[in-house]
Every structure is written in structure tokens, then in C-alpha cells.
Structure 1
């Protein structure tokens, strides 16, 4: 049975449509004008409790924008959208009518690539559009919030994002507030004004005097739900004045009183219907008929809609409804009080109906909500393995966490699946404790033991205990037969990865061959992804860069179209692929990939992928002239390391911070940061492993960089030579390459340009052959200046005579000039004194040295970019420089910085 996201289900539930307009709705003219003004805000957040008219306001804004005309998309969220793959698919479905590129990807690409198409569609859509996300309070998952945050960051200037939420969304909006690009409408602003309340009651009977409207407005404080409920009661009361006089308060007790009054006024059949259908999140005539076969449910729904009894039609072209949340809550409380014995039967009927519709997710929801744990277990027994393979970890975690432990203990296989779900939602440490508490390793059930054999080394590896993982997994590998199950194949792949980390490449490839043979008999997109990603890591370590990139690309695209996909698994491969794209110099594409895969992969918690993902995002921010964001990301990475008790993550953040400080021209601060990162026991162990994130990120390499660029070049050469020899002997080709770049800089600083040029020759040939770019660009101006001198030398000119070399050089020079670089060592010059520079020029110079772009400097100084360029021209003249990089270098040499 197929469990993939269904566009039909989304349309039926009204997720992709604003609620149908009602003739009694009051136009929110002032708020709509503020929101929809042509020069209005980029992001709007309408925030208030239930019943404050957020959805109606957003629907009116959508209609106004469409009349402009502007294309719009609507998505109503629910708690199931905390499952990130589902959220991505729902959002893609909503945007399908808006963005043709996203639609094309949906037809041709894998599930995970839909997410990339979504981000790209939002970022590159060239016409004005608006996206509405309603009921945002349902979203609590950090990964989903992170993705929405990234979408906000990618919104083009002509785009709008409108959010409706009961509380402040968990988004970082500080920068937008500072730039006056966000409009926040709170409950006080959402309330009806006196004028709106007067227009509201003018359409209703009995007619109220202005004084009565004013009194009712004051007592309700403009709360729209209370006014609507009061209006319904007024229609049945003999004295409007008496009702308004005794009406008091605006808390839940008022809602209860009014809801009771509304309920009491209905015919018995309608009251019966209202109470018993209150358990449903969405109402339709066939579903309600399954719960209440003796009633004409379609007719009752029409009566309720015509009577305006707090029932909202969720789609204009479909008869699907939902109750107002306060009303639904009240009805449920009345059902529990009046007919508690009916609740289980109602949930059972709903569960059976959904199961018959091929929708196991709501079927399981209702079974659990109805306390029918036997039915829930039976459904989970049928569908949990498939949902596990689809990566529905959050959904499984929520369900299995709701089941009593004693009930779940009767299904040990489901307990094992709970460990998987826990691992990918709350981390491997908690999953390991759970597996130990459940004593799954002592089970006699072969199916349970299959899961245990795959989980044990995987969890240890994710907790950075590679040696223990190897010892735990290899006996199980030795016991594998010819016919491998999904868990057996996953075990083989996991052990291949662990073997590669331990430097046992021959053994890793043998395990990969075992896994691939199993896949040829029983294809698994997850295991295909895993195999290709591990093989790509080995290629990367041994210097086959292009081949590694091809494998990572294959791994990312391995998910079969039409399935939910291995979102967590492909995040694992996706970060590696993003690292390759970054290395080729395509920062824009790398940033788009990272926006998708870093949030997807954060919950997975693999140390190397966390480090790589954050490191690349920080570097992209730095080269885009946003060092504040760079340091923020590195600080967040360090925090995650402490939070997850993984010291390698925290220490890696500090090593990278030291590199950035050196690029900014702060060698002493860089040295201090490296000292903070240094933990001899930690790095001694890391040095013995082949960890993708730390092959080029460890304190000793950072110190060698500092020594080569800013310290004693002779001492640097004495230390570099043995390190290069060790790296080559261990086939750590990437590391040897980086160290040889340092050696070339050190030679040049000693005045040995010929030696530096001889060192660079083969390195540039390798870069050209393997498509390397950022490994050189990220070394900043010290290396860039040396490369320019080499290109102008006789040997360099001979190399650049070839077309391939010229193409590579053009790509490198474009990248090297794209962002802030460290100061190039400059000869002694007669530099200007501080007195020769104006205060504003000094300020520009300091911001320039910190790595800010022209636009960032302009924002900080509250001037135009043309003014900044004028200051830069004056600085170049006064400092005798011909570039911003050289200006900073000479300013440092003169002691101005």
C-alpha cells in the first residue's frame, strides 16, 4: 500500500485553499491596506488566540493581492507537518500552482530534489507572489522551523510571506525587524474596532442601538469569536439589552457559556451530530456517515453551515469542514461528560473508514486517540516497517510514545522500530538508552535481533565511537548469509562506513560489494544511497575528487520517485554532495543545497555532517560579506557539540573560527582560538581516524597555516615537510595537498619564488584535473597573491597556454575576487598615517578589514554604496594600493589597524 503524500488528500482537507468567503465577513480594510500596500512588508505575522480572525484576514489579503494581480499560494498547517518530508511535499503542492520549476521537478526528480526545486522556485521566481502559511502554531519541529527560516532568507524583494499563528512563531525575525521588513499584527490589532463591530451587527437581527454595540464591544474587547457567539445568542434572546447587561468577561468561561447556549438551541439530531463528530479534525459527509449511519449527515452539515454554527468550509469546491477550535474543544468536553461510552466507538469507526480509504496515518491516529491499542498495534504491525523505510521517524516516534509501555512490549519489533525513530528524532544517546532499557539484545525474536545487529554499530558510530562500533558490528557481518534482508544490507553499509573511517578501505569496499549484491536482488533506495555515499568518501580521501562528486550526486538522486524518500538518509548524502559542489566553486548552488540538507540532517546528528554543513554555511556567509552570520553559525555549531556531548563538534567549530580570524587579519586571536580547541586526547584519537569533516580541520593544521602565513616561514617549512610526508604515506591526498599549499606560501615569504612556483606547478595541474577551486580560494589573499605571481611567471604562462588551464584560472580568479580575503603579505611601503585619513575613512577601513562587503558597510554607516566606493578610492590613493585587499594589507603594515 502506498503511503506517499497525496495531493488529493491535501485538496480534500482544504490545506491548499483559503476558507471560502462568507457574506457575513467584515472587510478588514485598514489591516488589509497595511499588509497589501505595494511598498508593504516582506513578512507579515498575524498572531493571536483562536477566534481572533487571523484566517479570515489572511484570506481577504490573499483576495486583494490576487486582484492586483499577484499570484498566491496557501497552505494550512497541522501537527503532522512537523514531519519534515510531509511539510516539504505539502509546501511543494501549494507552490505547484505558483512555480513551474517546482512542478517540473515534481515530475522528473527524486523526492529530496523536490525540496531543492522549492527553494530555487521561491528564490528565483521573477514575478510578484505571496505565500500564506496559516495555523503556524502547529509547527514546533526545529528542522521545519529552520527550513521556513531559510525560505524567508531567500525571498526575493517582490515576494511576500503571510503567517497566521496563535503564538509567536519560533523564527528569528530580528534582522527583518531592524530592516523594517516585518509587520507583526497582534491580538489587540486583530480585534474588531468599534466601526467594524458596528458594521458586523448592522447585518444581524435583532438590531442593536449604538450604545448596545459599544457596550458589547467594550465587554468583549473586540474579540471576534465572542462577538460571533454573542450574535448567535442574541438572535434567540427576548431582550438584547438584558443579555448584553449580564454578559461579562472574555476568558474561556465566556466561550463555554456561549457555546453551551449555541448547542442548546439546536435540534436534538443536530446536537447529537455536533457532539459525536467533534472528535474529527476534518469533517466530510462520507466520514460523518461512517460515525453516524442513522443520520443524513450531508443534510446536517448543510444545516449547520447555513446556520453559521461555528462550522467552516475548508475548500470552496469541496464539502469538507472543520469546527472552530474553541467550539470543538467545548463539544469534546460535553461529549466526555454526556456520552463517554461513545468515544471509543466513534474513534473506531473513524479509524476503520480511513483504513478503507487507504489512509493508515489518520486510521492509526484515531485508534490511539480512542484508546484502542490493540487496533493501533495491528495497524502499526502492518505499516510500521514501510513507514520506517520511508523515513517517517517523527510520526513513528509520536505514535509509539503514546502507546503504553506494557502494550508496546507485546510487539518487540515495534519496540525496535521505536529505537530507530528515537535515534533520528532525539539522538543516538537516547536511542541507546532506550534499547538498553528494553533489553532488545536479549530477545529471542530473529526479526528483533536483525534490527539490533544494525542498530548497535550505527548508534555507536553516530556517537563518535568508531572503534567500539567496529568491534560491535564485525561479528554480525561475519554471520551474514547469502540472502540479505533490508536490515542486513543496512548493517553492511554501516560497517563499510565505519571501516572507511578507520582507514580500512579494502575492507570497506568488500562490504560495499556485499551490500550491492543484495541490492541487485532486492532494490533499496536507502541502501543504494548509503553505498554510493560511503564509496564517495573513500574517493574523496584518496584524491579522486570528480569521482567522489559523481557518487555523491548519485546518492542524492537515489530515492525512487513517488516514495516519501529517505529524507534523513539523503540528508546524510546531501551534505556530502553540497561539500563537493562548494569545492567546485559554485557557491550559489551549494547554498541552495545546504538550505535543504542542513535542516534535514540536524536531527540525524551525524558529527561529520553537522560539522561540514555548518562550516560550509559559515564560509558562504563570510564570502557574501556577512561575518556576523559566520560567527553566529560557528557559535551554534559549538553549542550543538556541547549539547550533544560530542567534543569533536565543539572543537571543530573553534578550529574553523580560528581560520576566519586569520582571514580577517587577527593572527593572535586565531592562535588563542586554536589553543581553546586543542584537546590532545581528542585530537590524538581523531588523527587515527579518517573522518571527512576533520581531514582538513584540526588544530595542528591551523597552527601550520598561521606559521606559514604570519609566523616564521623557516620554522613552518621545518614542520611542514614531515607532515606532508606522513600524509602522503597514509594516502591522505587532500591533506597533503593543503599542506603543500602552505609550503608554497612559506617559500615565497622566504624570498624563494622559484621554489614556490615549483611547488605550485603540480598542485595547479591537480586542481585543474579534479575541478578543485575552494581549497585554494579559502586560503585567502596570501595564496592568491602568490598564484597571481606564478601565473605571470614563465612557468605559469606556459601552463596557461592550454584551454583547460585558462578555463580553470578564470573560474578561480572569479571566485577569489568574490569575497573578503586575508591581507596579502606586502612589502614595506610609505603608508599614510592615521592623521591622513578622515574618521569616516578609518571607519570604512576597519569594516573592510573585518570582511564586510560594500553593501554591508553602507548599511552600517547609513550611506549609499556609491559613497562607500568613493571612500575606497580615497583610501587606495592615500595608502598607495590598487585593490581593497592591498589597502587592508598596507594599513596593517602601517599600524592603522
Structure 2
């Protein structure tokens, strides 16, 4: 190495030795050799193994590594002299001119350029590792910028810091996965944790030890220390179990926080009360206008905060650090109280009264919570928050049910919104028992009926739900005073039951009742609650377009109010599922159905499970997956049978199967279903459609006598008239009237599923009417007909062109010329057309093509 440059410390240009038992972290070491990263930064607190990781690299690549650990008193030139001396350890004659320049106090830029040129002339890759970059003297930013500007292509710089990147360094480097190793990257992987455990003789299957070790959250030093204690004496094992509180004398936590400024520590301390942190919330509680930037910066490494939802900008504080600040807050009760009151005020202003009450309850300030409880009761019910309803039952009772058993009523409602049907049944029994003992059975009748309606609906006893609702006549509701608003809960279940049973007369009556109920609702409790009865009724009348718009609006309201469980917007999702299926968007329909299914199944609302599963089956049939469709229906029956659902729940499945069988022309099973199903509007239409028995409708006069109660029945009647009219022109007239209704009110599939007769009418109309809606339907008819043909008999696009030209009557020579093909090629295609269609002449080919809806 020769003469040592004056002022250079050899100890600071020598990599530290790597412990023999230290874990080699190949996935991190690979970043040192990434050709895309000429600058690499490693930033993490003490205890993460940063320096040891770099020393591993140096030990593996001794002939290309230059090591330098700055000293706090080093000047800019002394830094470079150390680098030159370190280079001479692997290249003895490196930069012989340095001593001469040192004596003459060279210009810094001149020196940096000369040094960079010296490195550039080497025939090898060089990695310069700067350990403890935090110790670089102030004002070294100029040096960093100068080196970054002149750094040669064969040199890679690696910087190691305890603290995060400074703004100066961020200017030089846009951190990315290729050029930055953060504290989050330095955390142990599950495989590495197992390796360390095995080193200390701890079994990976030791559940108790794994639970304790999980507290380290992948922090290497903390994990190793815990392993050492768990493998030691009983006293050491006991110490390990208290490690989360003590954390080795808070040594590691303090090291993690030493790199933070007082301003940053105070910022984090104010956020320690929050479980989920947003920039808006952070700014409000910290009163720091730079909160968003500060939060993003502190979360970049994954040490202080973790981003848990990038789209919504949601963060959570590191668990160990959060507990550290919570302990500090506990030691300053006055500051903590002021912070809690501020946070409660922020939540209230945001409309999140539930979180505000949570804080008041934790403070033991029920007096502050009580004014809000009446306002949030409905929110707790609608969101299915049975835990808080149970927890706050005593405080809610005077606000919700001012009777001597008010607390029992609140607890009963808590059981009502619990996921399991059994919970609601137990809650009802308890309420009735307590009310009977207090002589208040009649006074709680409405509450009992709300629970009975929910239980009956879940069990599939849909007619019983309607009976419960029917007892609440207009006169009875008037006598109930303010309590009549509670009837709306029963009315909603009853309207869903009537809809699923296709009892549209009852549904109409409930729709007329709804405005009266809504007008009397307590403005704070119910004014924002979406009312889905109207949407169901509009859908039942056949106005699919308006029903879809109504449902989409209701869905937005439900999302804003966080409706869950019993009050999830099943009705709106059902309308959207069916209207999208009718428009041919089966993917969108299935997406809505599956989201509703998760909620309905988890809360054991079996009629909705039957309805949405049946819609998915219908969509699969529409896709052409007939076998899958019937398998879904079979599985749904098994599920309802297993849960002992009433026969009315099975009617929902049977009716959907009937519709699918009817479209599939499955006569035998269809007749069986028709025989046992009640004559709902859907069943009546299938009977009237004359699919199974030509004797059921003998003339168009008989069809003309069918009523036109709503859009759907009028549309069905026109379709039947078109299919059964002897005159082609009359058939087209009826079909055109039906298509106009379909276009106006959002129909498509009802026409495509009718079969060959109506499909041919569509094609004939499309040939003579230039309407986009009609042409789209004709295109879909041809596409579906084409898909049904086997591959060996399917016509190519060229053969279809020729077939359509044949139908015009033009001579073959003209057809060939218009298609720009020779007559011989034309004849070859024509032979293929005849073969695939089974035709023997031009006329027969044209007739078969028309029959198969190809033209």
C-alpha cells in the first residue's frame, strides 16, 4: 500500500469483520450489483444490520470494494484523501499525484474531476461504500453534488445512514426499489426468522415463541435478542416475555427515534391516538400544514408508518413506536386529555360521531357522549355494529327506547344485526321474557315484530313477513305516534318478501305507504336512510332503465352510510344484477351478485342467497354454460336444504330454473316446474308463450285479451302477438312495437332468448329499417347462431360474404368480381358452403341460411 497519506485513519478505511454466524441476505446483496443503480442508499436505524450487510459485500468482493467511514471532523478534502488511501489497498499506485496536490491546497472541483478521471481509467468495476453518512460534516452537499456530476460509469457509490435521506440527498437521487434499501427492506423475512430460530435451537413450530418473536416485527437486532433470551434460562425467558414493554431498556426504540427531529417526534406523538391515519386527519390533529408531506416522508422507509391503502392514502403507525408514544401520553394526562378532546371535535366535524363517542367512552366522559348517542343509534344499526350497540346499551336506552327495559331493547337490536340467525332468535326470546316479567309485552310489540320479520325472512317464510307487516294498518300506525317510524324496518322486509314472491300487488301497496312513513321519520335518525322499496316497484313494473338509475343512486348512498349486514342494499344490487344481465353485461351482473352474496350468506339471509345465486346461474346460461348453470342451481338448493329454509325460499330457485329451461327448450323438466309453481307473472308468461303446449293459446284474439298491467306485461303480449300472427307484416308490426318499448325501457335479452321465430323477425326488420338498436340486436342474433354451429360446419367470413350475396340473386360472375376473387375461387367457396349447409342448390342454400339466421 506504500506511504500512508498524512491525516488518514486506516481503521476508517477498513471494512468491519463479518460475524461468523451472521445471516447472509442474498436478496439484499443482489442490489449492490444492480447495473441500473450507480448510486445505492441504505437507510435504517441501528440494529438493522446495515453495516454488516455492506461488510458482507466487501468480504465477497475485496478486489473491487473501497470502504470509508467518515469522521465528524473530516474536511471535504480529507474525505477524498481517505478514499484515495482506501483505493490504494487494492490498487497500490492509484492517484500518485495526490500528495503533491495536498501540499498545494487544490481547488475542490479540480480535485474531484482529477479523481473521477483516475477511476475512469481503471479496467474494473469499483464500489465505494460510505458507512455512517450521517457523520459527514455540514456543507458536504456541495461535495455530493460535485461527485454525482462527475462520477464515472465504472464506479458505484453506496451510502449507509441511520436516518432518512436528507432533502439534499433526495435532490441527487430519486429513491426507488433499484437504488434504495429501506428499514422495511431490512426487516427479516419469514424464512430468515426460521433460520435464526434454528441457530438458537428454537423450533419453528413453537407457537408460544413465535407469538413472542412476532413482537419484533422483523427487527433484526430485536429478533436476535429475543431468540437469545428464549433459548436461555427461565429468568431470561421471562425477560423475553416482558420485552415488548421494556424492549431491552427501550434501547432499540430510542435508536429508531434518535434520527427524528423534535418537530417530527411531536408530530408522531400527536398521531399515536389514531389507528388509521389520513393526511387530512394528520393535519387536523397535528395542526401542521406540511402534515401530508411529513407523513409520506416518514412512511417511505416503512419504519415509522406503513401505507396500508395507497388509493385512499391511509397509514398506520409502527406498533412498537405507537406503544412508545402511547406510554409518553399516559405520563402526561393533561396533554392526552386535550388531544382526545381535539380529536373528538375533529371526528364530529367530519360527521364521524361514532369515533367521537368512542373517545369520550375511553375518557370516561359519558356526559359528553350522551348528546351524540341518539344521533348515531341508527348508524350503529344500519352498519351492523352490534359490538358498540352492546357496549353502549345502557347509555343508548334513554335515547332510543325510554322504558324501564330500554336497555334490553337495545340489546335485542344488537342481536338483530349480528351475523347469525341464532343470535336474533335468542335476542327475541330474551326480550319477550324480560318484557313479560315486567308486564310490558304489549309496549314492546313493534320491537318484537321487527325481530320476527327479520327471522321469518331469513328462514324463507316470506308470506309470514307479509302477514306481520299487514297488522300495521294506517289507523294503527297513527295511534303509535313517533314509534310508527319503526314500521319502516318491517315494511322493508315485507317489500323484499313480496318482490321475491312476485306479489306485485302487495309491493304496490307498500310503495304507496312508504312516503307517509318517511315524512314522519325523526330527521336526525332516518332522513339519510335510502329507501329501496321504490326501486323494487319500478323494476317490477318493467321500467328497467329507470330502475337501474334508481338502484345506482341508492348504492352510492348505501356506500356513503356504510350499510352492512341486515341493511345492506340487497334490493339495489338485485335490480342492477338483473338489468345488466338483460342488457347482455353478464360480467357486470355477476360482479354485483357476488358482492351481495358475500354479505347475504355471512348474515344468513337465505332468500337473498337463493336470488343472487339463481341470477348467477342465469348469467352462466346466457354465456352458453348450460351445465354450469344447472349445477349452480343444484348447489343452491343443497345449501338452502342444509340450512332448513322454508319452501318459499326454494320457489325463487325453481322460478329461475323454469326461465332457463324455457329458453333451453327443455320440455319435460319445464312441465314439472310449471305444475308445482304458483301462477306468478313470470310463470303466466311462460304458459302464455305456448312453449310447451300449442293448445294453450289458439288465436291472436285470445292473446289480445291478455291484460296490460305494466310495461313488462305489455311487452310480453306484443312478443306473443308477433310470434303467433299468421301475417308477416302484422308480425313485424307487433315486433316493432315491442322493440320500441325495449329500447325505451332498457331491454335486450328478452328478444334474443325468444327463439328462431322472433329472431327471424328481427333479421327481417333489420334488413328494411336503419335503426342502430335494431341492427345491434340483429348482429347479436347472427353471432349467437354462429356460435351454436360445430367447428367443422361453421362458415368462414368469406363463405358468409358469398352466402349473403347469393340471397340477392346476383349472377356468380358479378359476386366474384365484387369480392375481388377469381371464378375458380368462387366455385371452391360455393362448394364448401353447400357442403356445410347440406344444400344442393343456390335456392336451398339461401333457404337453409335464413332458417339458421345466418342472413
* Pairwise TM-score range, normalised by the shorter structure: 0.3 to 0.5
Larger radius of gyration: 2
Provide the TM-score with structure 2 as the length reference.
Answer: 0.47
Larger RCO (alpha carbons 8 Å, 6+ apart): 1
